[in-house]
Chain A
Amino acid sequence: MSEESTDIKIEQPLDQAALNEEAAKELEAMVAAETTDAEAQDSSDAGTIYQVQSSAERAGIIEALIFVSEEPISAKTIAELLREERSVIDEALAELSKEFNGRNGGLQLREVAGGWQFATRPEYHEHVRAFLRSRPSAKLSIASLETLAVIAYKQPVTVPEILEIRGVQSPSSIKTLLDKKLIVAKGRKDTVGRPMMYGTSKEFLMQFGLKDLSELPSMEDFQDLAGGG
């Protein structure tokens, strides 16, 4: 920034400040009125979390929380918010999901990435997409998917270890996966060259609709498949 432009910038708002001072005085009365309102609201805001009265109410609150939560909301978070036992919440969630999904409506209540989430049913994607005017997001290349599979099953895993399994270098795949936040660096391995280790992220669970990593089919399932040939 040049000195000249600095000066101009300062001079202008000086007048503006004086103007605003006037405006401020004018508005002061309004503010005073607002203050009392706001304060009254403030005091009511604190301590609104009361004990849940019934299981129907509990289910209702949980449903509302899942709806507003941007990311999948965990049972632990809900339990803390409602100041209730985790087991009570787990039970309520199971009941709620049974009831909700039993409706077979356009939405599903599902467990993903360690939390609960409302989402549309995949069957209706065409209409949803037409409304949102969205196109399917870019697909991962086969190379990236293979690299991701190796990382998902062998994590934490280093680049040389991935090379060993795939028989081919995969730097661009790893970069793509990092860019898409599907994998994260997990620190360096204590071996020659101290290579970086990679593992899957929470985003991975979300994008592949997984509750957690244990929901992935076991490697043995693929072994049977391979051996069966």
Chain B
Amino acid sequence: MDETREGTAAQPAQEETGGPISVTGSSPEIVADDTTDDLKIVMGDFDGPLDLLLHLIRQEQVNIYDIPVARIADEYLRYLQVMQELDIAVAGDFLVMAATLIELKTRMLLPRDPFAAPEEEEDPRKDLVDQLLEYQKYKAAAQMLWSRATVERAVFKRAEIETDKTNPEVSVGLFDLLKVFQEILARHKEEVLLEIEREEISMAEMIERLRNMVMSAGELNLRVFFERAQSRRELVVAFLSVLELVRTTEIRLMQKETFGDIVAKVAS
């Protein structure tokens, strides 16, 4: 953990000494080559109009609190033009910023209201500067997250230990399931003589019945489910439907105590 903290603490310090605010390449993944004029290299790296604007401000080495709007706006439009020439689809957000810049440029050209009190007169660039400063903070925060994630990726945790929770199927063996089935089957052998009417139920219907019973209550004692079966055949279908739903992992079987009742639960 100490390494992590040192890592994040060191980064801003570096930036402070490294001259003006770091804007592009806020993530070290991007190595923006500022020395070359080749626009294509940096083109795709702009993450939005604010990102591009910050880059231009840095590139032109101007004060963020006193942006020469005309120069920056021209530069910005030039970038957009290159983007279009390169056939990069210019996102709408970039165009909105272009409009904002043009509007600002126009307003900066207009003479100031000579009758307005100096305090009342707000710099038309204020909103944009605030937005840029705010964005810049989050860009720095994103960089901090990046370095944290990089350290974290080098940290490994213990692999999963197999428990009954991670492997619930183990807790009820096929034998346990069979045992319940046999018990009920034995009981049915005696009752089968009384059966007069046979109601045929299909596998699909039985699966549906089981599903409904498990879903409605969240869990279902298999004894209850098997005892609902009216005939030997139905019982077999019921048993198969349990196997089927376990196979498709829709339900899982649990046994709270050895030789206790087997409970079907909705698999989470």
Do A and B come from the same complex?
yes
Looking at chain B's contact residues, the main secondary structure is helix
B195 located at the interface, meaning its Cβ lies under 8 Å from any Cβ of chain A in the complex? no
Cα–Cα, bound, A128→B240 (Å): 46
A187 located at the interface, meaning its Cβ lies under 8 Å from any Cβ of chain B in the complex? no
Q: A225-B12, A228-B16 are in contact. Are A125 and B155 (CB under 8 A)?
A: yes
Contacts of A148 in B (CB 8 A): 142, 145
B257 located at the interface, meaning its Cβ lies under 8 Å from any Cβ of chain A in the complex? yes
Of listed B134, B140, B141, B202, residue having the most chain A CB within 10 A: B141
B8 in contact with A217 (CB, 8 Å): yes
A1 located at the interface, meaning its Cβ lies under 8 Å from any Cβ of chain B in the complex? yes
Closest chain A CB from B58 CB (angstroms): 9
B-contacting residues, A15-58, CB 8 Å = 17, 20-21, 24, 27, 31, 35, 38-39, 42
A-contacting residues, B1-51, CB 8 Å = 1, 3-4, 8, 12, 15-16, 20-21, 26-27, 29-30, 45, 47-51
Cα–Cα, bound, A210→B149 (Å): 10
Partner of B145, one of A20, A21, A149: A149
Partner of A14, one of B142, B236, B258: B236
A191 located at the interface, meaning its Cβ lies under 8 Å from any Cβ of chain B in the complex? no
B181 located at the interface, meaning its Cβ lies under 8 Å from any Cβ of chain A in the complex? yes
Cα–Cα, bound, A136→B154 (Å): 8
B203 in contact with A9 (CB, 8 Å): yes
Contacts of A228 in B (CB 8 A): 16, 21
Cα–Cα, bound, A152→B138 (Å): 10
B91 in contact with A168 (CB, 8 Å): yes
Closest chain B CB from A204 CB (angstroms): 9
Q: A118-B157, A118-B158, A143-B47 are in contact. Are A123 and B237 (CB under 8 A)?
A: no
Cα–Cα, bound, A19→B93 (Å): 72
Count how many chain A residues have C-beta atoms less than 8 Å from C-beta atoms of the other chain: 66
Q: A10-B237, A10-B240, A229-B64 are in contact. Are A145 and B136 (CB under 8 A)?
A: no
A142 in contact with B148 (CB, 8 Å): no
A167 in contact with B97 (CB, 8 Å): yes
B146 located at the interface, meaning its Cβ lies under 8 Å from any Cβ of chain A in the complex? yes
Of listed A20, A35, A223, A226, residue having the most chain B CB within 10 A: A226
B188 located at the interface, meaning its Cβ lies under 8 Å from any Cβ of chain A in the complex? no
A219 located at the interface, meaning its Cβ lies under 8 Å from any Cβ of chain B in the complex? yes
Closest chain B CB from A148 CB (angstroms): 6
A121 located at the interface, meaning its Cβ lies under 8 Å from any Cβ of chain B in the complex? yes
B160 located at the interface, meaning its Cβ lies under 8 Å from any Cβ of chain A in the complex? yes
B182 located at the interface, meaning its Cβ lies under 8 Å from any Cβ of chain A in the complex? yes
Contacts of A227 in B (CB 8 A): 133
B151 in contact with A146 (CB, 8 Å): no
Mask, A159-195, CB within 8 Å of B = 1, is 0000001111100000000000000000000000000
A166 in contact with B48 (CB, 8 Å): yes
Partner of A217, one of B29, B91, B93, B144: B144
B interface residue numbers (CB < 8 A to A): 1, 3-4, 8, 12, 15-16, 20-21, 26-27, 29-30, 45, 47-51, 64, 91, 93, 97, 131, 133-146, 148-149, 151-158, 160-161, 175, 178-179, 181-182, 185, 202-204, 233, 236-237, 239-240, 257-259
User: What would 9 more interface pairs be, CB under 8 Å, given A10-B233, A132-B156, A142-B142?
Assistant: A10-B237, A31-B175, A70-B161, A122-B152, A145-B27, A168-B49, A168-B50, A217-B141, A223-B133
| Interface pairs A-B: 7 shortest CB-CB | A168-B48, A229-B21, A125-B154, A122-B154, A149-B141, A167-B50, A222-B137
